[in-house]
Amino acid sequence: MSTLSQTSPDEKAFVRPGFQWDAADAYLFDIDGTLLNSRDAVHYLAFHKAVSAVLGIQASIDGVPVHGNTDPGILRAALQRAGVQNAKIDRHMHEIVEFMCADVVRNHEQLRPELCPTIPELIARLQASGKLLGAASGNLGPIGWLKLEKTGLKPMFSFGSFTFPLESRADIFRHGIQLARQRLGEATTVTVVGDTPSDIESARAAGTTVIALATGVFRFSDLMAHHPDACFASGTDLMAHDQAGL
Ligand SMILES: [Mg+2]
């Protein structure tokens, strides 16, 4: 199943010839824009509160590219823009991210993650096929897990690879691949599922295949420009593709 197809005329589904989207042993799912979108400001506000509490300055993350970035990467960019030197950022990063995590935990009842279309069905489809599922995200671990818990997805994920101390997405994916191989063996094949050009490029850098879903801020055509192995407008289109036996 699910082997060959070209870009469909309505540009909602692409699978690279020879790539079988459901052939991997394990799948690493990005969180924001891939599994869910947050309809609250809890995570966003935590950045500002943490910087203010730890460094005593106001440094907005507004205008910093957040999609496909990592929490420490966002912090670093916002602080550099506010004139804070890297050495000082490094010295305080641990304390800032700890504050952020504690703040999101404190306000977790206000988290409003909204599942992306057909994600429960896609996850169930992979689970029924015996696939190992991991989360791999630029979120700080406790924040990523809380979002997954709130959507009911947490029990479906066997492990997570998150940011800090890892700061690059490629390193987060590499670590996720290691975690999958620790569980299933060295020959384990892994596919990343993400929603940004950064996910596509970082999956490549980590030496693995990638399925892109245009359910974050990037459109199908934006993602196609980065040559993912497969690309779908949403999980609904992926499942339709699957059910059509393509
Ligand atoms: Mg994302």
> Where do we find the tokens 């199908």?
220
How many angstroms separate the alpha carbon of residue 214 from the centre of ligand 1?
10
Q: How far apart are CA 179 and CA 192, in angstroms?
A: 13
Ligand 1 is an ion; its neighbours by CB within 5 Å are 30, 32-33, 195
pLDDT surpassing 50 at residue 138: yes
Q: How far apart are CA 145 and CA 216, in angstroms?
A: 19
Average pLDDT over residues 68-78: 95
Instruction: Provide the CB-side half-sphere exposure for 188 (13 A, CA).
Output: 22
pLDDT tens digits for 82-103?
Answer: 999 999 999 999 999 999 999 9
How many angstroms separate the alpha carbon of residue 137 from the centre of ligand 1?
7
- Backbone φ and ψ of 113, nearest 5°: -75, 135
| Contact call for residues 67 and 196 (beta carbons, < 8 A) | yes
- pLDDT score at 5: 47
How many angstroms separate the alpha carbon of residue 30 from the centre of ligand 1?
5
| Contact call for residues 79 and 59 (beta carbons, < 8 A) | yes
- Average pLDDT taken over every residue of the chain: 94
How many angstroms separate the alpha carbon of residue 72 from the centre of ligand 1?
15
How many angstroms separate the alpha carbon of residue 197 from the centre of ligand 1?
9
- pLDDT score at 246: 65
- pLDDT score at 2: 42
How many angstroms separate the alpha carbon of residue 202 from the centre of ligand 1?
12
Q: For residue 21, what is the DSSP state?
A: T
- pLDDT score at 3: 42
DSSP 145-212: HHHHHHHT-GGG-SEEEEESS--SHHHHHHHHHHHHHHHH-TT--EEEEESSHHHHHHHHHTT-EEEE
How many angstroms separate the alpha carbon of residue 228 from the centre of ligand 1?
15
Q: May I ask the CATH class of domain 13-39+114-243?
A: alpha beta
User: pLDDT exceeding 70 applies to what percent of the chain?
Assistant: 96
The full length of the chain comes to: 246
How many angstroms separate the alpha carbon of residue 29 from the centre of ligand 1?
9
pLDDT tens digits for 17-58?
Answer: 999 999 999 999 999 999 999 999 999 999 999 999 999 999
How many angstroms separate the alpha carbon of residue 170 from the centre of ligand 1?
13
How many angstroms separate the alpha carbon of residue 195 from the centre of ligand 1?
5
| pTM confidence score | 0.94
| Contact call for residues 238 and 13 (beta carbons, < 8 A) | yes
Q: For residue 22, what is the DSSP state?
A: T
How many angstroms separate the alpha carbon of residue 60 from the centre of ligand 1?
20
How many angstroms separate the alpha carbon of residue 210 from the centre of ligand 1?
13
Q: How far apart are CA 10 and CA 135, in angstroms?
A: 30
How many angstroms separate the alpha carbon of residue 34 from the centre of ligand 1?
6
Per-residue HEC secondary structure of 73-138 comes to HHHHHHHHHCCCCHHHHHHHHHHHHHHHHHHHHHCHHHCCEEECCCHHHHHHHHHHCCCEEEEEEE
pLDDT tens digits for 105-132?
Answer: 999 999 999 999 999 999 999 999 999 9
232 three-class SS: strand
Query: 42-110 — its CATH code?
Result: 1.10.150
Average pLDDT over residues 68-88: 96
- Backbone φ and ψ of 13, nearest 5°: -150, 135
pLDDT surpassing 80 at residue 193: yes
Nearest to 35 by CA among 117, 133, 129: 117
Average pLDDT over residues 154-180: 97
How many angstroms separate the alpha carbon of residue 173 from the centre of ligand 1?
13
- Each domain of the chain, given as residue ranges in start order, spans 13-39+114-243, 42-110
How many angstroms separate the alpha carbon of residue 102 from the centre of ligand 1?
22
The CA–CA distances, whole Å, from 70 to 136, 141, 163, 182 equal 11, 11, 6, 24
